[in-house]
Amino acid sequence: VNKGIMKQYLDAKISWVVDHEALPLFAPNEKLHKVYSYGEFWRDYKSEIYDLAINLGDLSSQILTVQANEKCGFGFDKTTKKYYNCLYRDIPLNMNLFQIYFRLANMSWRGEGYDIHYYPRFKSKKNRVGIAIANANLRNFIGEQLNLEDSSKLWIIPYKKNVFKKMDEINRCKSIVTDDLFTLHIAVALKKFVCFLRVMPLAFNIEMFGNGKIYDVPTMYARS
């Protein structure tokens, strides 16, 4: 969304209000004006008037009190119901997340990618395949269906709570096998080839920018 806004408003000063856990993803981006946690924003916010307010996820009524010359997104536009139903009620919509969030911001997605600012600490190992699986039962599916011939190049990605340490581990690999959506997004943002194991149907499409493959996992593997 940052990229779309900056194309449309060349001198935009963009401030984000996000969950506290998401602050590390936004803080390194020097193109942003300010990044607040929700607590910080509502504590410091007084009567500042913005040119544009975009609500991409705050479903509380408090967001309606933000003063702006123009508003769009959840709570401001009745046409957003179908996006709400997709994201929060799992009602299928033939759009990917980029398209949904751009429409909530009253823009059209034109192939813009992620805007995550990350500086690699390690070089990628040639041909190393990183396994990041939340459901341990999927190991049989990986062994039988993905034809990963050289097991010496397989590497179990260790769990890291810190998002940048997680990115460091993902970046060590040439490709990633995962059933986790957050890992998928990070890996695609880092330009890794991703094999995504779709255990459950998703209400939205997955965009990998031509650098991945989706495997629908039969129930017998997911529950074995």
Whether the predicted pLDDT of 160 surpasses 80: yes
Share of the chain above pLDDT 90, in %: 57
- DSSP three-state, residue 183: helix
152 — pLDDT class (breaks 50, 70, 90)? low
pTM of the entire structure?
0.90
Q: What is the pLDDT of residue 151?
A: 56
d(CA 130, CA 52): 41
d(CA 53, CA 63): 10
Convert the pLDDT of each residue in 78-96 to its tens digit: 899 999 999 999 999 999 9
d(CA 53, CA 67): 8
Return left, alpha or beta for 178; rule: phi > 0 is left, psi -120 to 50 is alpha, else beta.
Answer: beta
Share of the chain above pLDDT 70, in %: 96
Q: Which residue has the higher pLDDT, 149 or 47?
A: 47
d(CA 196, CA 147): 14
Cβ distance 192 to 184 under 8 Å?
A: no
Strand partners, 18: 37
d(CA 184, CA 196): 7
113 — pLDDT class (breaks 50, 70, 90)? very high
